[in-house]
Amino acid sequence: MSVIVAAVVAGGVVWYLDRPGSYDECVVSEMRGQSQIAMFTVQKVCAVRFRKEDELPLSYFREKVDISMMPDFDKDPGVVMMGSKNFDNPPMIFTVTKNDTEYEITRVHVKVSHRMEMDCSSIEDSDWKDGPELIFKDKIANVNMPGVLDERSKLHRGPFCFRYTGIWGTPRKQ
């Protein structure tokens, strides 16, 4: 009986130690004995298994991805749409409201502008500043945005305009 248990334990240890530990090892391991035709499928399977993050085209924002932003009323009960009395850098919640891609959005880089323009594309490049990296978990990113003090309202106002400069995601499980 103890010989059988030892054999099962040893087999489990060998199986565990023989598993690929990275995306690259997974691709090499899964491609053994396969034709090149299987490469795309193997890469996709290994990317899901190891949550390999890919940079996605910025054109996705026009066609396939929408992200909305709201003040974080839970973190800052005194916040209003135009700013915060409690935080120099108002807390905001970014939510992926549309995602018609094969990826789960994991992070987004943004540039921000505090200029109040209805058409954000008319803002000069010099008025854009690097914003925080948005890290998404379950389609939500919580972040404190750089604020500026509005002397009239005495509120720290978050950016009015956002420009997305990078988007990353991991392949969805099929």
CA distance 99 to 76: 28
pLDDT one-digit tens code per residue, 110-166: 999 988 888 989 999 999 999 999 999 999 999 988 888 888 888 888 888 889 999
CA 158 to chain centre: 21
pLDDT one-digit tens code per residue, 36-91: 887 777 777 787 787 788 888 888 887 899 999 888 888 888 777 777 888 888 88
Banded pLDDT at 16 (limits 50, 70, 90): very low
pTM of the model: 0.70
Give, in order, the Cα–Cα distances in Å from 18 to each of 29, 30, 34, 158.
Answer: 10, 12, 19, 51
Q: What is the mean pLDDT of residues 83-106?
A: 89
User: How high is the pLDDT of residue 9?
Assistant: 52
Under 8 Å between Cβ of 27 and 46: yes
- Residue type for position 84: S
The answer, yes or no, to whether residue 13 has pLDDT greater than 50, is: no
